[in-house]
A and B are shown apart, each in its own frame.
Chain A
Amino acid sequence: MSILSVENVSKTFGGLKALMSVSFSVKQGEIYGIIGPNGSGKTTLINCITGFIKPEAGKVYFRGSNIKGWPAHKIARAGIARTFQVMRPYYSLPAYKNLIIPLWSPRARAIGGWRGGGRHGDRDTVAVDILEEIGFERDSRVPYKMASTLPTGYLKRLELARCIALRPEIIFCDEVFSGLSASEVAGMVPLIEKLKMEGITLIMVEHRLKELFKVADRVMALQFGEKIAEGHYTEVIADPRVKEAYLGSEEV
């Protein structure tokens, strides 16, 4: 049973065809990777699905209802969270207060419980719990530091923590590994696997292919807004069109 299925989504920016009739579907609890060279439309695809831009054509089914054209906040409320490629923390707030905002959102409040956050005041504790889970040292001062003073590694984790706080069913990760050192990525991988264990579906856009292939169940390759390959990563990287997209074709 697929939790999310995208059918023939298209988007053009002026004369540029950013997405041409892209279709794919993701099963519940799966980690689905999206790869492709720069400018191939990966982030545009995420933006189309999460409502930050409106696709011109196509359908997006989430749990059987067509969410295409819904405003971003309504899609998030339905259970689709996302991170941003260019990190967007609330720089003027301490790290743990960054999570109060998703915890305050109607979705998290309605779900309640351990991750939903309860009434005012409890949310602070829940926020620190989530941060601890995502790799902020609880007893240090890191969770209480201003987001503007945190290094990139923590900010990437904070992006993910903000998604978790919403208690989503699907998380779109837009390049959570980029800009991290090898050891930092090694720290993130178990985190991703843990989210999968909890039944959260992850859709990851990534340039760091080696690390992505470690966690992803299936991978899709995009080029110039078109889906060129899909399947297990070994199949995808063996595909001649994918090789061509990444390495260029040999002109005769």
Chain B
Amino acid sequence: MEVRRKERIDRGIKVRSEGIYCVSSPKEMLYVAGPRLLLIAGLLLLPLVLEMAPYWKRVVNIMCVYGLLAISFDFLANVVGLVCLGGAMFIGVGGYMTAIFNVYLHCPVFLAIPLAGLSGALICTVLLLPCLALRGVYFAIVTLMYPLLFTRIIEALNILGGTNGITGLDSFPNPYLENYVIIVLLLIFLFGLRRLMDEDIGLVLRGVKDNDQSVRASGINVAHLKALAVFITSFIGCLGGAYLAHLYMWAGLSLFALDFSIIPIAAVTIGGGGSMMGAVIGTFILVPLSEFLRFFGTFRIVIYCLILTGFIVFRSEGLLTYFARKYDQFERWAKI
């Protein structure tokens, strides 16, 4: 019997140079930039394409907020090595901060959001500082606990509007702005974080995940680096939360919902971790899917779970890794 095996051969310029190559011709530039341009153009055109379906425009906004959470989770977990389930905390703190700035202090929307991002990130970082020495699942547990803590405090002390939340936040001046603010934010942070990873400081952060002992032996304060990474992550998350509060024109306890912690992880698992791009692809599948499944009523969660399991079982490497392989290599059967 003839024995054959599948051969994978690198396509185009992605020859076996272990990632180091020179881009020289327009064709090659397009090969490298193509997928990125497709993503940027696709996202920017989405609100225009969905002109006739305002409901889905809303879904795109929420999808982008989850996208922000997913890239920040991916950054912290797969680059720095801190598994953070604090998505809900970032969204909640960001949302409440923007409500304070906007409703109590009368800042306009476009001042309140960045202020909420910065102050929220500061609060989250300070709260997480004592836990930075924890590793793996212990850090995850603490970050999961904080949102619960916030809800209980707000309920018990009846501050910040209590269970009713803070109402009367300003909305965005027009629906296009509403769409594009979050889309542009997502694109900036997606490519910004990827750029950061390629810088020397990005390498140092990856070093912290690989082995922090060597980083310490190199005269670098690991605690400072982790705090910086947590600040970046919570800044991104809080901006998302602030946006969401203005979108709903309301900041309430549901901003601390567990979904904000869990869905980003599912998205990174489906999309493939470590590159941020996988996280975005994951959210772009999961969030619309969840909306689409509303059609099935109570069966929604069952089908959702089945699809999720399917992804994890059949594409455990992550969709992005799979697509990247198909894009960079072709396969053929070779005789042995």
Contacts and interface: CB of A to CB of B under 8 A. Distances in A.
Interface in B102-118: none
Contacts of B221: 71, 73
Contacts of B218: 73, 76, 81, 101-102, 105, 162, 165-166
Contacts of B20: 144
B207 interface: yes
A101 B211 contact: no
Nearest to B211: A88
Contact of B219 (A88, A89, A107): A107
Interface in A5-59: 50, 52
A85 to B, nearest CB: 12
A144 B220 CA distance: 24
Contact of A93 (B201, B210, B213, B216): B210
B206 A104 contact: no
Nearest to B200: A104
Contacts of B203: 93, 97, 100-101, 104
B200 A73 contact: no
Interface string A74-85: 101100011010
Given A90-B206, A144-B18, A106 B211 contact: no
Contact of B200 (A77, A92, A100): A100
Contact of A73 (B206, B207, B211, B222): B222
Contacts of B53: none
Given A120-B199, A123-B200, A141-B18, A72 B216 contact: yes
A234 B93 CA distance: 68
Contacts of A104: 200-201, 203-204, 220
B210 A92 contact: yes
Interface string B187-215: 00000000000011101101101110111
A165 B200 CA distance: 14
Interface residues of A, number: 37
A94 B214 CA distance: 15
A146 interface: yes
Given A84-B213, A90-B211, A90-B214, A105 B220 contact: yes
B227 to A, nearest CB: 14
A191 B199 CA distance: 31
A149 to B, nearest CB: 10
Nearest to A102: B218
A6 B211 CA distance: 28
A52 B217 CA distance: 9
B18 A90 contact: no
Interface in B13-39: 18, 20
B262 to A, nearest CB: 27
A93 B215 CA distance: 13
A50 B217 contact: yes
A84 B207 contact: no
Given A100-B203, A120-B199, A76 B217 contact: yes
7 contacts: A73-B220, A73-B222, A84-B217, A90-B207, A93-B210, A101-B204, A123-B200
State the 3 A-B residue pairs at the shortest beta-carbon distance, nearest first.
A76-B219, A77-B219, A102-B218
Interface of B: 18, 20, 199-201, 203-204, 206-207, 209-211, 213-222
Given A89-B214, A100-B203, A120-B199, 18 more contacts: A72-B216, A76-B217, A77-B219, A84-B213, A90-B207, A90-B211, A93-B210, A97-B203, A100-B200, A101-B204, A101-B220, A102-B218, A104-B203, A104-B204, A120-B200, A141-B18, A145-B18, A166-B219
